[in-house]
Homo-oligomer: A and B are copies of this chain.
Amino acid sequence: MSDEKISETKINIINAAKKEFLENGYKDASLRHICKNAGVTTGALYFFFKNKEELLDTILGPLIDGYKKLVRSLFTKDGSGESQNGDSMMIEYLYKNREAAIILIDCCRGTKYETLLGTIYSGMKHGFESMFRAGGIDDVDGKLVEILASMKMKGYLNLLKSDYGTCELKKIAQSLGAYWDSGFFALVNVLKKK
């Protein structure tokens, strides 16, 4: 449908960059290595990308655009933004863009994307807090919420790193959902007794 032809070289560079970012993180990724693996010289890279950061932007941009769109659509459907169904849609979406998603979550230390990740964490924490309130707990420890959020994110991350087919992925995601839900309700009960 689209008649934009993306240069093969550019694709090679992007793929080599993805690999390098995944292996070493953004900061420790070497443009030289990327170019060598892509079979081009440094100058070629700089024909397609203004600098290292724009290379990262090119990889993460589409992922983030889609993510924002998905979040918006989830929020307009139901006010919570933290429904179980939303979770599964999110997982499916991220899984379709696995490499970029892993880079965003796990390989962006020290970049501007840390801020975005922080925002996402905030959203997750708000979700947990409203669930705690729904369970009758108003003064939940902030650090505990943070731990829960980070664990959930870590779960997502490792799910992305796996090689499941879409079907098996759903099963695992459901298993994880059961784990999280039961764990959460147990936690609520423990906290209520105090």
> Which A residues are closer than 8 A to B by beta carbons?
24-25, 27-28, 109-110, 141, 143-144, 146-148, 150-155, 157-159, 162, 164, 172, 174-176, 178-187, 189-191
Q: Which of B152, B155, B178, B187 contacts A175 (CB 8 A)?
A: B187
A151–B155 touching, CB < 8 Å: yes
Q: Which of B150, B153, B181 contacts A186 (CB 8 A)?
A: B181
Query: How many chain copies does the complex carry?
Result: 4
Q: Contact: A110 with B28, CB < 8 Å?
A: yes
Known contacts A28-B28, A110-B28, A186-B183, A154 near B150 by CB under 8 Å: yes
Q: Which residue of B lies closest to A164 (CB)?
A: B143
Residues of B within 8 A of A109 (CB): 24-25, 28
Given contacts A28-B28, A186-B181, contact A176 B155 (CB under 8 A): no
Interchain CB contact under 8 A, B144 and A175: yes
CA distance A141 to B182 in the complex (A): 20
A147 with B143: CB separation less than 8 A: no
Q: List 10 A-B contacts (CB under 8 A).
A: A143-B172, A144-B176, A150-B155, A151-B152, A153-B154, A175-B187, A175-B190, A180-B183, A182-B182, A182-B187
The dominant DSSP class at the A interface is: helix
Residues of B within 8 A of A181 (CB): 186
Shortest CB-to-CB span from A157 to chain B, Å, is: 8
Taking A187-B179, A190-B175 as contacts, is the C-beta distance between A158 and B162 under 8 angstroms?
no
Identity of the chain B residue whose Cβ is nearest the Cβ of A141 in the assembled complex: B172
Task: Please give the distance in Å from A174's CB to the nearest CB on chain B.
Answer: 7
Contact partners of A182 in chain B: CB under 8 A:
182-183, 185-187
Collect the chain B residues with CB atoms within 8 Å of residue A190's CB: 174-175, 178
A189 (CB) vs chain B CBs: closest residue: B178
Whether A186 lies near B191 (C-beta < 8 A) is no
